[in-house]
Amino acid sequence: MTIPDNPPFPPQLSPGEVSRLVSEQSAQIIDVRQPQDYEQEHIPGAVSRPLDSIKTAQLPPGKMAILYCGGGTQAGRAAEQLRQTSQADIAVIAGGLRNWKAAGLTTTKSLSAFSADEIKAAVAERYGQVATSPTQKFNFPVGRRFAESVGYHATTLDRLPAGVWESFTGAGNPQPFVDARPGETLLDLGCGAGLDLSLYARKVGPSGILYGLDLSEAMLEKAHHNLTEAGIANFQLLHAPADAIPLPDNSVDLVTANGIYNLSPDKDAVMREVARILKPGGRTIFAEIVLKSALPHEVRHEINDWFRCIGGAFVQEEFLARLSRNGLTRPRILWSGRNARTGHELALSAVVRAEK
């Protein structure tokens, strides 16, 4: 077989070859269509670099640049332009997005193209998977090792059913700061499988009332089993979004959470709901991911970034200001630091307190 001295440029790769290279982390996929087309549907992990700006694209060092368009010739033209300014290996996906989909491979859309209801449905589905399959691979930490790393003591976890901690995936550990008292009514927003609720049960005692709210039915089923197995009876679980809490006004002494705000598309509505249900003089104490400064847009462009709790994260000063605007007083950060949830250098895990 004779190999031509000048093979055709750009090389045409099949969708299967591209998928393999991406899984090996040796390639960056680039969508050269217009931004509005990218927003509505693109290959997971692809970045948007339209044809008219491809010459200025900054490519990750050591990675092949794999370009694609809808299925026409734009990717080839973009490859010709890119090699004038880049030393990277360049290829295109044969047949573009059309062939990618024909091969049965998945596509996604940009975070900005999701409606609030679509985000809620995606959150319920993903965290339902955490409930039913906690050992599968997620793009955020799950389980006992993570719980211990943020300060939940091994001896405490040993006394609880394994189902309580195997699906743990909070933003941090609010436990040392939550001053629940015997006989109080407490609501845990985004209660998950019930780890925090199990510990709050000891603080409010049998005369207290515990509510746990979650979007995922699978999580609530698991929490009910776990709390019952732990011998806790004074609880009620609520299947609802955090921006529509099914409790009366002025009915709760303390609202806690562990990462719920960043999973909620309307954080202001959640804050207003917390203020509504708190009794006068009540308080909210919760763990959340906040930012030291604003994230670059490209860091949070897919729904997976939402699950990492950075897709919807606020800069810490803005977060506190919004709590004030939505009916809560003296919002302040009691503690902040980093953990396995704060993968980006600008992210912090914080414990926040405010009163009504």
For residue 83, the domain's CATH number is 3.40.250.10
Domain check: are 104 and 125 in the same one? no
Q: pLDDT of 262-311, one tens digit each?
A: 999 999 999 999 999 999 999 999 999 999 998 876 677 778 888 777 77
Answer whether residue 248 is part of any domain. yes
Q: Give the residue ranges of DSSP H helices in 206-341.
A: 217-229, 267-277, 303-307, 316-325
Q: pLDDT of 161-177, one tens digit each?
A: 999 999 999 999 999 99
Who contacts 298 (Cβ-Cβ below 8 Å, separation ≥6)? 47
Domain check: are 81 and 53 in the same one? yes
195-204 helix and 217-229 helix, angle to the nearest 10 degrees: 50
Q: pLDDT of 323-338, one tens digit each?
A: 999 999 999 999 999 9
Domain check: are 247 and 350 in the same one? yes
Look up the domain containing 27 and give its range.
Answer: 12-109
How many Å apart are CA 256 and CA 274, to the nearest integer?
10
Q: pLDDT of 36-57, one tens digit each?
A: 898 889 998 888 899 888 887 7
Domain check: are 203 and 135 in the same one? yes
Domain check: are 97 and 165 in the same one? no
Domain check: are 104 and 168 in the same one? no
Answer whether residue 322 is part of any domain. yes
Domain check: are 45 and 153 in the same one? no
Last residue of a domain, one of 109, 134, 162: 109
Domain check: are 98 and 148 in the same one? no
Domain check: are 129 and 105 in the same one? no
Number of domains comprising the chain: 2
Domain check: are 219 and 326 in the same one? yes
Domain check: are 157 and 294 in the same one? yes
Domain check: are 52 and 198 in the same one? no
Last residue of a domain, one of 74, 109, 144: 109
